[in-house]
Amino acid sequence: MLRTTIFSEKREVTIARDLPTILIGERINPTGKRKLATALMEGNWDYVKEMAIKQVEAGAHVLDVNVGVGGIDEAEYLVAAIKAVSEAVDVPLCIDSSDPKALAAALGSYKGKALVNSVTGEEGSLETVLPLVKQYGAAVIALCMDEHGCAVDVEGRTAVARKIIDRADRLGIPREDIIVDCLTMTVGADSKAALVTLEATSRVVAEFDVNITSGASNISHGLPVREVINAAFLAMMIAAGLTAPIVDPTAPGITQAILAADLVMGRDDYAARYIRHYRKMMKAAAARAN
């Protein structure tokens, strides 16, 4: 069973199917977040630090950092954001950029082994991202999409995963440093979308034994009471092989759903983690009431 290890200066995180699920906090991404976009453009790093701290307190083990705002020097701002987040929390970081210059600058400045988000099966992505992953000894998220977009079937997504893994292998990037994302589409537009992702995940795990990530909240886009759908999908994905979902740990029910799934999967001896989180919630609720 492959183990993916990433680390910051102070903390190491290991991802594997026989270990508790690792949460990658998604909140430091300005897409759809006007306040964060404004903070980034103004260089308000205190706001970014606050977002980092809240996610770690809510249960995130790794934080995704994205500064994709128009009109800025992404390389400069990504380096600054990584520095700010690293000062606020000690968890490893997932460096999120499609700009090779920004990615190289961020990886060069990061003190640890980062996770890169992400490489696709497109030739341009393979030729620019994978050499940087190799150069800086990082791990990388492999998105199951290519020049033709996201395949609608299990076979197509598995084929893209195979292509990326093979290309990484040729460069000497170990398979344990590849985390595959079989992509999640909303069931609001296609009621079979979740089944394709679940089946593709099971297939990729069976064929390549790699770790799996997912932007799980996409499953409920456009639907009411999204947290219920997200929680159900996360539990099913964990059973299928998901090991490191990209989620908002501060969203209602998300961390609890993941802890419950781990408990049911036999990854929480004597329910210790589940009970510890419950007591933490009760303590926080009592503090708010007072």
Q: How many domains does the chain have?
A: 1
Write out pLDDT tens, residues 78-113.
Answer: 999 999 999 999 999 999 999 999 999 999 999 999
Quickly tell me which residue has 């979308």 as its tokens: 193
Grouping H, G, I as helix, E, B as strand and the rest as coil, residue 244 is coil
Mean pLDDT of the chain: 95
Cα separation, 116 vs 133, whole angstroms? 7
The domain in which residue 162 lies consists of 4-289
Write out pLDDT tens, residues 217-230.
Answer: 999 999 999 999 99
pLDDT of 150 above 90: yes
Least confident of 124-133, 172-181, 248-257: 248-257
What local confidence, expressed as pLDDT, does residue 233 receive?
A: 96
Residue 228 belongs to domain with CATH number: 3.20.20.20
pTM above 0.85, yes or no: yes
pLDDT of 287 above 90: no
Cα separation, 226 vs 69, whole angstroms? 26
Cα separation, 84 vs 221, whole angstroms? 31
Provide the token pair at 14.
Answer: 């290991």
CA 281 centroid distance within chain: 24
